[in-house]
Amino acid sequence: MQQDILENIYKKLAARIDIYNLNFADEKNKLKIIEKNLSEILDSEKTLLSAKDFKIVLNHIYEESFGYGPVSELMKNDEITEIMINNFDDIFIEKSGLIQKTNINFNSNMHVKNFIEKVLSPLGLRIDESCPMADARLKDGSRINVVINPISSNEIVVSIRKFKKKLKTVDDLVMEGTLNYEVSDFIKLCVKKKANIVISGATSTGKTTLLNIISNFIPANERIISIEDTFEISISLKNIVRLESRLPNIEGKGEITIRDLVRNSLRMRPDRIIVGEVRGIESIDVLQAMNTGHNGSMTTVHANSPVDLISRLETMLIMSGLNLNPSAARRIISSSINIIIHLERLNDGTRIVSRICELANESNVIGEKSEIIIRDIFNYCSIENKNKNSSNETCFKFSGHIPLFLKDSFLV
């Protein structure tokens, strides 16, 4: 059906139906009301549609009014993890770890803006020249980020990171080749022994997914406080409190930062603190919590390697306002973190645990400088180094190093 005919029907339907009040009805009743009014409009217009076309028009109108418009089908597809709208006719997705272009289009950038306004308005957010960026959590837990001109060369850019309805398990990661059972058993033991764990990796390497999985290794009798920008961690323990940061309102007030939540969590009697991601001055509070009685805490950090992770944390600590020098920052890092799990994404989209390292609670001191000692425990073997007959079960090599906090364990 031509777009101008659809728009004409939509305008007449909007004039007949109170869309606002219809928002409070359930999906079944919404469809019934739209279907009834649509039939009456088509009869009055003497427009004949086949049953198939009528259903297409009905679904189109419903999705435009209450769904995600042209990207509704992408939102419903569980295999798609990310939706990237660079322009109204330039939409990409991430599927199975690979980015690909779609043939789905909006009518115009104004159509995209109307879609964004419909999504953000119920959340008390807006997007315009005075507020050209927006970041929010959708009802299903997905995260949406919007950037518009003038801070973007494109008129409007939308990124949607979808919430996984079916959360992955260790078995799923083994099947995908992310790790093997020997590595997962080692991580379980680290969690049981209350090692402080940092998961590092670049964007979209699976840090949050892995954090979510290993968080469920925590014993059921412990009290957990999880702290996130957007609720993504799902832990099946009874005694868990989930805290979420909050952006400032339109007047620039009411902001609750990750650092505020970390500080407050210390007064909530946690056994362990789980922080979705550390990226700024909250690092000092997270590391101090790890170092002062909250062993077994976990977080993620964007970094390209364990060495880069140390450099990033060192920079964060120096910028925390406590007047720390590099040596003092490194001592805090080495005494707070036990294990680094580093993730990478291969060219074929596969996400793998490339290294598991221990940060020794000691450092090499050379003059006034100190270097943190990083000892590899497991390394991922590249395809070139694997036996042709081997499988993912054998592509992780144990270095032979036993972490200090496991010396008294049965792992020998």
Q: Convert the pLDDT of each residue in 16-41 to its tens digit.
A: 666 556 666 666 777 787 787 778 77
What residues contact 64, with CB distance under 8 A and at least 6 apart? 10
pLDDT at 366: 47
Alpha-carbon dihedral sign for residues 179, 181, 186, 188: positive
Comparing CA positions, the residue from 352, 30, 53, 326 lying closest to residue 176 is 352
The answer to whether 334 touches 363, Cβ cutoff 8 Å, is: yes
Binned at pLDDT 50, 70 and 90, residue 389 comes out as very low
Using CB atoms within 10 A of its CB, is residue 290 exposed (0-12), middle (13-18) or buried (19+)?
buried
Determine the Cα–Cα distance for residues 305 and 13; give it in Å rounded to an integer. 56
- For β-strands 98-101 and 133-137, DSSP reports them as unpaired
User: Against a cut of 0.75, is the pTM above it?
Assistant: yes
Cα R_g (the chain), whole angstroms: 25
Compute the average pLDDT of residues 95-102. Answer: 90
Mean pLDDT of the chain: 85
Q: What is the pLDDT of residue 408?
A: 60
Q: Which tokens in the block code for residue 214?
A: 């290993």
At 247, the pLDDT band (50, 70, 90 cuts) reads confident
The pLDDT of 51-72, averaged and rounded, is: 81
Query: How many angstroms separate the CA atoms of 22 and 129, rounded?
Result: 31
Q: What is the token pair recorded at 142?
A: 């997905």
Tokens of 82: 């990310």
State the pLDDT at residue 370: 64
Confidence of residue 382 (pLDDT cuts 50, 70, 90): low
**Helix ranges restricted to H, 216-305:** 258-265, 283-291
Single-letter amino acid code for the residue at 389: N
pLDDT interval class at 254 (50, 70, 90): confident
Q: Assign 146 to helix, strand or coil.
A: strand
Evaluate whether 358 touches 212 at the Cβ level (below 8 Å).
no
Given the structure tokens 């390497």, which residue do they identify? 205
Lowest mean pLDDT among 143-157, 183-197, 255-269, 358-372: 358-372
Query: Which token pair is 81?
Result: 């993890």
> How many residues are given for the chain?
412
Cα torsion through 60, 64, 66, 69, rounded to 10: 90
Helix axes 283-291, 258-265, angle to 10 degrees: 20
Q: What percent of the chain has pLDDT over 90?
A: 48
- Phi first, then psi, for residue 102 (nearest 5°) are -105, 170
